[in-house]
Amino acid sequence: MKKFRVVAIWLYTLTLLVACAQPDAEPGTKNVSVAEHKKPNIVIIFADDMGWGDIQKYNPETKVPTPNLNMLANEGMIFTDAHSSSAVCTPSRYSLLTGRYAWRTQLKKGVLNGRSPLMIDLTTETLPSLLKRADYNTLMVGKWHLGIGTNKPDYRGRLAPGPNAVGFDYFYGIAASLDMGPYVLIENEQVITPLNGDKIAGSKHRRHNGGGFWRPDEIGQGFKHEEVLPLITDKAVEKIHQASQQDKPFFMYFSLTSPHTPWLPVGKFKGSTEVGYYGDFAAYTDAMVGKITAAIKASGIEKNTLVIFSSDNGANWWPHQIEKYGHLANGPWRGQKADIYEGGHRVPLIVKWPEKVLADSQSNIPVVLNDVMRTLASIVKVKPADGSAPDSYDFSKPLLGKLVTQNYKRPAMIHHSFSGHFAIRVGDWKLIEGLGSGGFSKPKKLDVKPGQSPYQLYNLADDPSEQINLAAQRPEKVTELLAELNRIRKN
C-alpha cells in the first residue's frame, strides 16, 4: 500500500510538471485566463460623417475639442492618407465588413434606407464571420445601414436576415441612419421599441434653422432620437465588460450614429464649441469614444486590445458653414461628404495596440478601409476564404513596424461618389471620370465642352487641394490610369 501511495504521488507530480511545460492553449480553452489571450481583442469604433479635420491630432486648428481621440492617437498610430471606399455610408460600411467594393453589388450609387433588404450576400465571408473562424465572440452595437430582412422588412415581426446572419453573435442598434425611419431599436432580430401606429413629422436641417434633420416616418414606443447615441454607447460599454470576462477574445464593431444628422448635442455639450450644433455634436462624439476606451481600461484588457477608430466618409460640411465658423471639418481637402474629391473620402484612421503599434506615430501609406479585413486576418492568423475580400490589402507589416513604410506599395485605390462617379488613385496621381463633384458640392456635374477632356487629373503631391486639372496636359497619364480603372472594374 505504501509503495502504491509513492507511485501515485510521483504520477501526480509528473502530471503537474507536464501541464506547466505545455505551451499556452488557444483562446477559448479553459486553461487560458482572459489576460493570457494570444489573439488580441478587437474594437472598431466607426464614426458617422466625422471629418479628417475635426480631430486635433490631424488639424491643430480645429475648433472641436477632441481630448479622447487625441489620447487615442498619442497612444497609437495615425494614418494621414486613409480613405473610405465611398464618399457615403452604406457602400463604405459594406467595404469595411467585406473587403469588397460596394459597386461590385447592385448598389451602383446612393445609399440604402430603413426599409431596404440586406445587401450582403449570405455566401460572402465578412469580417465577423472570418473572426468567428478564429474563435472570436463577435458583437455589434450601433448603426447598421446595410439593409435588413428580405424584400420589405417586417418591423412588426422577426427582422432577418441582418447582422446576426452575416457573422455577429449579438446586435443592438438601429437599422439605418438616425434620420431614416422607421425609428426603432433592435436587439438581435427583434424590435424592442415596438411600433404602435405613432408617426413623427420630419424636421429641417440645423442650417435651415430646423431642429435637426430627420425624415417623417413611424416611430417606436419610447424611441427618442437624442437618447440613441448615449444608449448605444452604454450598451457597448456593458458588452465590453461582459466579453472581457469570457475565455476567448472578442470583436466589437461599435458603429456610432454621430456626428451624422440629426445634430443633437445634449447637456454640457450643447453650446460647448464655436462651431454650432455640428461642433457640439462632434465634441459629444469624442466623449462617447472616451467612454469606450475607458471601459477597455477598466476591464483590464487594454494591453491586448487592438482599437481602430475611423469614419465612414467625410464630414457633411457646406461652404457657407466654413465661412460662418472658420472650421475646416475636412481639413485642407477639397469637397465634403458625397463628393469624389478628397474631402468626400479621406478619413481619419487611428490604430492603438499597446506594445505592438508604436505610440505617438504617424504613417503616410495609402490605405482604404477595405484593407482592414485582410490586415486583421493576418494579425489573428486566419486565412480569408477563397474569393473573399478581393479588394482588401494587408497593411499589418507597416502597422507593426515590420516594414519600412516607404517600401509599402499598395495597388490602385478606387474612390466612388454619391452619384456613382469613379476615381482611381495610383501613387500621387488621381484620375476622376467626369467633371464636377459627383456629390453634394457644386457643380455636381458639368457637361463636356467641345475639345475638352471629360476627365479630371490631379497630382496630389503637388496639388493636394485638387485645383489644377492636368487631364489636357497629360493625356498619356489619363490613358494609363483609365486602363487600370477599367481592368479593376471588369475583374
Output the nine-digit C-alpha cell for 226.
437624442
Q: Quote the pLDDT of residue 32.
A: 34
Nearest to 423 by CA among 440, 437, 406: 437
Please give the pLDDT value at position 34.
39
Phi–psi pair at 345, nearest 5 degrees? -135, -5
| pLDDT tens-digit readout, 240-284 | 999 999 999 999 999 999 999 999 999 999 999 999 999 999 999
pLDDT of 445 reads: 95
Query: Residue 483 pLDDT > 60, yes or no?
Result: yes
Question: With b meaning 16 or more CB within 10 Å and e meaning fewer, what string describes 31-69?
Answer: ebebeebebbbbbbbbbbbbbbbbbbbbbeebbbbbebb
Q: Give the whole-angstrom CA distance, residue 111 versus residue 384.
A: 27
Confidence of residue 446 (pLDDT cuts 50, 70, 90): very high
Residue 3 pLDDT more than 60? Answer: no
Beta strands 250-255 and 455-459 are unpaired
All domains of the chain, ordered by start, with CATH? 37-312+347-407 (3.40.720.10), 413-490 (3.30.1120.10)
Check whether 488 has a pLDDT greater than 90: yes
Nearest to 104 by CA among 82, 119, 88: 119
Q: pLDDT tens digits for 39-53? A: 999 999 999 999 999
How many C-beta atoms lie closer than 10 Å to residue 491's C-beta?
8
Q: Please provide the average confidence, as pLDDT, over all residues in the chain.
A: 92
How sure is the predictor about 22, in pLDDT bands with cuts at 50, 70 and 90? Answer: very low
Assess contact for 35 and 300: CB atoms under 8 A: yes
Q: Say how far apart CA 96 and CA 146 lie, in whole Å.
A: 11
Q: Answer yes or no: is pLDDT of 5 > 90.
A: no
Tell me: pLDDT of 9 over 60: no
Picking from 119, 129, 118, the residue whose alpha carbon sits closest to that of residue 168 is 129
Check if the beta carbon of residue 353 is closer than 8 Å to that of residue 379. no
Contact 276, 331 (CB under 8 A): no
**What's residue 452's pLDDT?**
94
Contact of 393 with 401, CB cutoff 8 Å? no
Q: Note whether 373 and 389 are within 8 A (CB).
A: yes
pLDDT confidence tier of residue 442, bands split at 50, 70 and 90: very high
Number of C-beta neighbours around residue 452 at 10 A: 13
Tally Cβ neighbours within 10 Å of residue 411: 10
| Residue percentage of the chain with pLDDT more than 70 | 92
Q: How far apart are CA 52 and CA 133, in angstroms?
A: 34
What percentage of the chain carries pLDDT values higher than 90?
89
- Tell me what pLDDT residue 12 has: 38
Is residue 54 within 8 Å of residue 65, measured between CB atoms? Answer: no
pLDDT at res. 151: 87
Give tens-digit pLDDT for 225-250: 999 999 999 999 999 999 999 999 99
Strands 77-79 and 349-352: antiparallel
